[in-house]
């Protein structure tokens, strides 16, 4: 039996078979990662952008022409890498300028970082168990999405979706005053 095509898998997904995305993501996980690593030259940044690429693919898969999926996925990956590069260009320069003029106190930064880490742990504890489990496995244990999905016994797209939802919820809690 031959492997199903991208179009076959997308058709199954659109018909309600969420598990159809697992082989599709598995098919492109390596190539997309290698593409992003080539662009970003950093393993962790490439993984982060790959995560966002697959989250977008999961969110917008219904609108993609099945015969164009591969090209569309790599276009999304490229756009996400470009967004990351633009964000990184803006933020570090601003922080470096503050350090140069003596507005940053390194000791205060360490204390602030410890306080921020404590707050993140507190907020993480407020997330639903499935979201917390995925974030913990990815961020603190360094597992790939495939490893997380296997460890939690869920489809790959579910693990990616939980990570996205969990990070969104953490951001919402953080911006809501950390309370």
CATH number of 1-100: 1.10.1740.10
Each domain of the chain, given as residue ranges in start order, spans 1-100, 105-179
Q: What is the CATH number of domain 105-179?
A: 1.10.10.10
Q: Tens digits of per-residue pLDDT, 12-28?
A: 888 888 888 889 888 99
pLDDT of residue 95: 46
Is residue 138 scored above 70 in pLDDT? yes
Judge whether 1-100 and 105-179 match in fold: no
Tokens representing residue 108 in the block: 């205060």
* Per-residue pLDDT tens digits for 16-60: 888 888 898 889 999 999 999 999 999 889 988 998 898 888 888
Q: What percent of the chain shows pLDDT beyond 90?
A: 30
9 pLDDT more than 80: yes
Contact 146, 156 (CB under 8 A): yes
pLDDT for the residue 96? 46
Cβ neighbors of 141 (< 8 A, separation 6 or more) are none
pLDDT tens track for 69-121: 999 999 999 999 999 998 888 754 444 444 444 444 555 555 666 777 788 88
* pLDDT for 135: 87
Span 124-141, mean pLDDT?
A: 88
Reported as type and span, the H/E element at residue 77 is helix 69-100
Q: Write down the mean pLDDT value for the chain.
A: 82
The answer to whether the beta carbons of residues 175 and 136 sit under 8 Å apart is no
């Amino acid at each position: 039996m031959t492997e199903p095509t991208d179009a076959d898998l997308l058709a199954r997904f659109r018909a309600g078979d969420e598990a159809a995305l697992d082989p599709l993501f598995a098919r492109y996980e390596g190539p997309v990662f290698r593409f992003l690593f080539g662009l970003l030259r950093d393993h962790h940044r490439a993984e982060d952008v790959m995560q966002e690429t697959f989250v977008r693919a999961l969110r917008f898969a219904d609108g993609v022409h099945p015969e164009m999926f591969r090209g569309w996925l790599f276009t999304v990956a490229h756009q996400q890498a470009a967004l990351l590069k633009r964000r990184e260009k803006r933020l570090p320069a601003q922080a470096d300028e503050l350090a140069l003029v003596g507005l940053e106190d390194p000791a205060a930064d360490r204390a602030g970082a410890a306080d921020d880490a404590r707050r993140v742990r507190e907020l993480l504890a407020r997330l639903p168990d499935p979201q917390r489990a995925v974030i913990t496995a990815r961020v603190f244990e360094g597992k790939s999405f495939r490893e997380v999905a296997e460890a939690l016994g869920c489809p790959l797209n579910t693990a990616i979706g939980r990570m996205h939802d969990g990070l969104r919820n953490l951001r919402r809690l953080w911006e809501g005053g950390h309370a």
